[in-house]
Amino acid sequence: MPTAQTTNFTVRLDSKLKQDAEILFNDLGMTLSGAVNVFLRQAVRVQGIPFEVRKNQPNKTTLAAMKEAVALASDPKAKTFASADEMMRDIEK
C-alpha cells in the first residue's frame, strides 16, 4: 500500500484551548493532530461539519450528587444499612 504524502498545517489558536484540546483528545486516545485529521477526513466525506466527538460530561446536578456520594462514603458518621429493605424502613419512619 503506498504511503500518503503529508504536509504541515499551521493553525494559530489560544494556548489554553490547545492545552485543553490536547488533554481531551489524549483522554479519547488520540493526538491533537490525529483529531484534526479525523475531522478533516469526515468533513470531506460528508461535505460539511460531520460529527461531535466528545467526552461525556455529567450535568451540574449529577456532579453535585457524585460529590455528595464521595463525601458520604468517607464519613465515618454516615448512616449505613445492611439492605435496601432496612433503608426503606428507615426512610418511612
Cell numbers for 9, please give them: 498545517
Rounded-to-integer distance, Cα 54 and Cα 36, Å: 14
Cα–Cα distance list, 6 to 34, 37, 77, 83, 91 (Å): 13, 11, 61, 61, 65
H helix and E strand count, the chain: 4, 0
What is the tens place of the pLDDT at every residue in 64-86?
A: 999 999 998 889 888 888 999 99
Choice among 5-9, 29-33, 55-59 with the minimum mean pLDDT: 55-59
Residue 53 has pLDDT above 80, yes or no: no
**Residue 6: Cβ within 10 Å count:** 7
| pTM attached to this predicted model | 0.52
Could you tell me the pLDDT band of residue 2, with boundaries at 50, 70 and 90? low
